[in-house]
Chain A
Amino acid sequence: MSYVEVAPLVTPRARRRRLLLRRFVRRPFAVLGLVVALAFVVSAILAPVVAPANPDATDFNALLAHPSSEHLLGTDELGRDILSRIIWGARASIQAGVLATLLAMVIAVPIGLVAGYYRGWLDPVISRFTDVLLAFPFLIVAVGLAAILGPSLLNATIALGVGAAPGLIRIARGEALALREEDYVRAAVANGAGGPTILARHILPNMMNTLIVQATVTIPAAIIGEATLSFLGLGVQPPTPSWGVMLSAAQPYISDAPRLALYPGLAVVCCTLSFNLLGDGLRDVLDPRTQR
C-alpha cells in the first residue's frame, strides 16, 4: 500500500492565529475595549443614520433643555441636540486619531528602520535629531504647528501626527536594532539578500506586533490631542461638532448646565479608554515578553 502525503488541514500560521484569538477572547476587558471602540468607529461612519437629529438644527424653544424623550441628553445653549452632536463629534475624533497615527507611522517607521538597520553615520544623526524633537513637549509642538498651519481639523491631525512621530522613530529604531542581530536576518544576508529585501521581508513583518500595539496607544493619545487642540480653538472650528469644541463652548454654562461639559467629556473618556483597553489586551496577547 502506497503512502499518500496529506497536506495538513491547519497551517502553522492559522494555528498561531487561532491561539492568539483564543488568548484575546479570554480577556474580558480587551474584548470590551474592542466592542466599544468598534461602536465608536461605526457610529462615526454612520453618523447621518444613527444620530436622532440634525446636529446643527437649532431649537430656540428648547435652549439648555433638560434630557427628555425628544432630546435624550438635552440641548445646548443654541437648542441643538447634544446626543446628535456627540455622535457627529466622534467623526472628528476618530478621523484625527486614526489619520494622525497613520501619518506618524508613515513618517516614523521608514526612518526608524533605516537608522536601526543600516547604523553607520545615519543612525547617530537620526537619533540626535529625534532627541531634539523629543525635547519639545508634545502639546507645544502640536499647538505651535496648529498655529503655523492655521486652525482646522486637517491641520490639527497633521500636527498630532508629526508630534507623535519622534517617539515612534525611537521605537522602530530599537526594534530594527534588535532584529538585525537575529539568526534569520544573518541567514538572509548570507544568502545574498539586499538591505531593502531584508527590511521588507524579515524586519518589518517581525516588528508588526510592536507597531500594532503602539498604534492602539497612539490613537487614544491623538484623540485626546484633537479634543485638547479643539478646546484651545486650534482644531475643529465651531459650529462643526467636535468633543473639544463642545467642551470649550460649555465653559460659560458650567454652573447652570454642567451636563454640557459632562457628556462630551464622558464620550472622550469612553472612546480613549476603549482603545487603551484594546491596546493593553493586544500587548498581553502579542508581546511574549509581558507573559510572565
Chain B
Amino acid sequence: MGGFLLRKIGAALVVLFLASVLVFAGARAIPGDIALALGGEERNPQVIEQIREKYGLNDPLPVQYVRWVGLALTGDLGRDSRELPVGHTIVTRLPLTLELAGLSLLIAALIGLPAGVIAAVRRGKPSDYTATTIALVGLSIPHFWLGLVLIIAFAVELHWLPAGGYVPLSEDPVENLRHMLMPAFVLGTGFSAVLMRQMRSAMLDSLASDYVRTARAKGLSEWAVVGVHAFRNSLITVVTVLGLQLGALISGAVITEQIFGIAGFGRLTVDAITQRDYSLLQGVVLVAAAGYVVASLAVDVVYSLLNPRIRVGGRPA
C-alpha cells in the first residue's frame, strides 16, 4: 500500500509541476503587453517601465517562473491588476462555487442513482427506455440554455425564484437556498445524466456477476440482492467516475455562474481571461488544476482501499 501511495503521489506531483509550467506559459501566450494591461489607462512609457521593473517582467522567463512558483508554494499568488492579493480573492470566491458544486452533486445523485438502478433492474422495459432517453436529452442540453429557460419560467413568468445573484448562507439560509436552487439544478442535470448512465452500466455488470447469482441462490430477497449486493458494488465504479468529473464540474460552474450572476470561482476565471489579468489568471487556473490533481489522487486512494486488486496488480490498465 505504501509503495502504491508513493507512486501515485509522485505521479501527481509530476502532473502538478507540468501543469504549473503550462499555466505560466499559457498566461504569457495571451496577446498584449502584460505591463500595458497592468497599467490600465496609463500610457506613459516611464510608468510602464516602472511596472515592468516592479513585477520583474524584464527578468528571463525561467527566473520569473521560479519566483512565481516559489511564492505560490508559500500560498502567495501575487497581486492582480487592481493590486488585490490573488490568493485572497480566490479564497473569498471559492466557497460560492463549492456550495454550487456540492448542491449540484446532491441533486445529480438524487436523480441519477435511483434512475440508473431502476433502468438496470428493469432493463429493456419501457421504464429503462424512458430513463435512458431522458438522460440522453439531459446530456444534449447546453447549461446556459437550460439556465435561460428556467429563468424565463420560474423568475420572469411565475416569479417563484430570483433570476440571479447570491445571498451568503450565514446571512439568510432560506434566501441562500432560493438563489442557489436554479443554478444547482442547471449544473446538476448534466451530471445526473452522466451518473445515471454510469450507474446503469455498473449495475448491469453487477447483476450479471457470480456474487449476485450466489446471493439469489441463498434465497435473499430481491431487495437485498439489488439494494445491498449489486448497488454497493456498483457504487465503487460510480464514485471513481464522479471524481474524474471535477473538470467538467468547473467548466459547468463557469457558464452557470455567468448566467445567474454569481460572483464565484468560475466567474472569476472568465473575468481573468477577458480582462487579461495574467497574475489572476495564473492563480485561478493553477488552483483549478491542483484541485483536479488532488481529486484524482483521492479517487485513486479511495479506489485502492475499496478494491485491493488495483494496488496488488500494480500496473493499471
Contacts and interface: CB of A to CB of B under 8 A. Distances in A.
Nearest to B30: A148
A111 interface: no
Instruction: Identify which of A137, A174, A233 gathers the most chain B CB atoms within 10 Å of its CB.
Output: A137
A220 B30 contact: no
A150 interface: yes
B208 interface: yes
B29 A135 contact: no
Q: How many residues of A sit at the interface, in one of the four size bands?
A: 35 or more
Interface in A215-267: 220, 224, 227-228, 231-233, 247, 250-251, 254-255, 258, 261-262, 265
Given A29-B133, A128-B15, A135-B19, A269 B141 contact: yes
Nearest to A177: B317
A63 interface: no
Interface in B239-282: 247-248, 250-252, 254-255, 258, 269-270, 273-274, 281
Contacts of A134: 247, 292
Nearest to B129: A29
A261 B149 contact: yes
Contacts of A273: 136-137, 140
B203 to A, nearest CB: 12
Interface in B138-184: 139-145, 148-149, 151-152, 156
B148 A292 contact: no
Contacts of A133: 22
A95 interface: no
A136 B148 contact: no
Interface in A121-141: 128-129, 131-140
Given A140-B251, A148-B26, A262 B149 contact: yes
A75 interface: no
A272 B143 CA distance: 13
Interface in B16-60: 16, 18-19, 22, 26, 29-31
A148 B278 CA distance: 12
A147 B28 CA distance: 12
A249 B247 CA distance: 28
A268 interface: yes
Contacts of A139: 250-252, 254-255
Nearest to B148: A261
Given A132-B18, A147-B30, A276-B136, A138 B248 contact: yes
B273 A147 contact: yes
Contact of B142 (A137, A144, A228): A228
A224 B255 CA distance: 12
A126 B288 CA distance: 22
A138 to B, nearest CB: 6
B50 to A, nearest CB: 27
A232 B258 contact: yes
B27 to A, nearest CB: 9
A169 to B, nearest CB: 15
Interface residues of B, number: 48
B71 interface: no
Contacts of B133: 29
B148 A135 contact: no
A265 B145 CA distance: 6
A190 to B, nearest CB: 25
A100 interface: no
B302 interface: no
Contacts of B293: 135
B290 to A, nearest CB: 8
A176 interface: no
B54 to A, nearest CB: 25
B182 to A, nearest CB: 14
B156 A148 contact: no
Contact of A143 (B11, B137, B152, B254): B254
Interface string A135-176: 111111001100110100000000000000000000000100
A140 B22 contact: no
A183 B145 CA distance: 50
A136 B285 contact: yes
Contacts of A115: none
A276 B145 contact: no
A178 B148 CA distance: 45
A178 to B, nearest CB: 8
A261 B136 contact: no
Given A137-B251, A228-B255, A258 B11 contact: no
Nearest to A248: B144
A227 B142 contact: yes
11 contacts: A133-B22, A135-B16, A135-B293, A136-B19, A136-B285, A137-B250, A147-B30, A147-B274, A148-B31, A233-B274, A269-B145
Interface of B: 11, 14-16, 18-19, 22, 26, 29-31, 133, 136-137, 139-145, 148-149, 151-152, 156, 204, 208, 247-248, 250-252, 254-255, 258, 269-270, 273-274, 281, 285, 288-289, 292-293, 296, 317
Given A258-B156, A269-B141, A272-B139, 7 more contacts: A128-B18, A132-B15, A134-B247, A135-B15, A137-B292, A254-B151, A268-B142
Interface of A: 29, 128-129, 131-140, 143-144, 147-148, 150, 174, 177, 220, 224, 227-228, 231-233, 247, 250-251, 254-255, 258, 261-262, 265, 268-269, 272-273, 276-277, 280, 292
